[in-house]
Amino acid sequence: MASSTSSSLNSQLGRADAQLGGVPFSAWALGNVVCLAMDSPQSKGDAGREFSAHFVSGLICEEYVQALCCLLDDLDPWLDVKRKRQREEKAVSKDNEDVGPCSEDATRG
């Protein structure tokens, strides 16, 4: 029975992961936890109006922070991979700029 439940859950997670474009569930959950904990009055949409929000009443801050920390810990490896990839892409981009548009054939001719 546990195997069947696990397979079903993995199947659901795979579909959801494809919909999220590779974003971990903990990132999605983090956004939801932050939004659900905030109580903001509806704005009239004035461009100059400052947005004001506060925590919902009854929120237990210690548990809220603990939940945020758990989600952030889960996100840490994913963020490390993203940062590494960005550094590598930046290095490749810089290397391509250093080479320039001229090729050896163009400089010989």
User: What pLDDT tens digit does each residue of the chain (109 aa) get?
Assistant: 445 555 655 555 555 555 567 788 888 889 888 888 887 665 445 555 555 667 888 888 899 999 999 999 999 998 999 899 999 999 988 888 766 555 555 555 4
Residue 77 is part of which domain span? 2-39+54-99
Q: Is residue 76 part of a domain?
A: yes
- Residue 107 belongs to some domain of the structure: no
Beta partners for 55? 38
Asked whether residue 104 is assigned to any structural domain, the reply reads: no
Q: What's residue 73's pLDDT? A: 93
For 41, which DSSP code? Answer: P
Asked if residues 39 and 28 have their Cβ atoms less than 8 Å apart, the reply is: no
Sign, Cα dihedral of 12, 14, 18, 22: positive
Count Cα neighbours of 15 within 13 Å in the Cβ-side half-sphere.
5
Is 27 within the bounds of a domain? yes
Sequence-distant contacts of 46-52: CB under 8 A, at least 24 apart: none
In-domain check, residue 106: no
Q: What's the domain count of the chain? A: 1
Q: Is residue 12 part of a domain?
A: yes
